[in-house]
Amino acid sequence: MEDCIFCKILNKEIPTEFVYENEDLVAFNDIHPRANTHILIVPRKHIETIKDLKEDERDELLVGKMVLAARDIAKKKNLDGYNLVFNVGRSAGQIVFHIHLHLMSNG
Ligand code: 5GP
Ligand code: ZN
C-alpha cells in the first residue's frame, strides 16, 4: 500500500531496526514509546484494521501468530507482566491503518 507507513517500513523505504522477524511479521520499537518497552508487532500483509480480518484460516492464523510472537519477544526480554493492545478504528486511537499489536511493559 503506497501511503502506508508500516508498508514503507516493511519495504525498507523507511529504515527501521527489527527486534524480531519471521516470514509472516516483523516487530520494531515504537517511535513514541509509552512504556519502558513498547514494541509493535506488524504483519507483512497489509490489513487496515481488525474489522477487516477475513473469516479464513490465513487471517485467523496470522492474528494468533502475532500474539505468540509478542509472547516470545516478552519472554526473550525477560518481561514479567505486559499489555497487548490492538487499537481498532480512529475513535479508539488507531492512527496507522495497518494492523499492529502493541506490546508494552514496565516490568
Ligand atoms: P496506533 O495508535 O495506530 O495503534 O499506533 C500506531 C503507533 O505507531 C503509535 O504508537 C506511533 O508512535 C507508532 N509509529 C507511527 N509512525 C511510526 C514510525 O514511523 N516508526 C515507528 N517505529 N513507529 C511509528
Ligand atoms: Zn500497510
> Taking the domains of the chain in order of start, what are their residue ranges?
5-105
Q: pTM above the 0.85 mark?
A: yes
Query: Which cell numbers in the block locate residue 95?
Result: 492512527
**Cα(27)–Cα(101) distance, integer angstroms:** 9
Q: Which residues are catalytic?
A: 100
Identify which ligand lies nearest to the alpha carbon of 96.
Answer: 1
Question: Whose CA is closest to atom 1 on ligand 1?
Answer: 94
Q: Given this model, what pLDDT does residue 98 score?
A: 98
User: Considering only CA atoms, which of 11, 40, 44, 10 is closest in space to residue 25?
Assistant: 44
Mean pLDDT, consecutive 10-residue segments, the chain of 107 residues? 92 97 98 98 98 95 98 97 98 98 96
Q: Given this model, what pLDDT does residue 41 score?
A: 99
Question: What topology is assigned to 5-105 in CATH?
Answer: HIT family, subunit A (3.30.428)
Contacts of 77 (CB under 8 A, 6+ apart): 37, 105
Q: Given this model, what pLDDT does residue 2 score?
A: 76
Residue 100 contacts residue 42 (beta carbons within 8 Å): yes
Residue 1 contacts residue 7 (beta carbons within 8 Å): yes
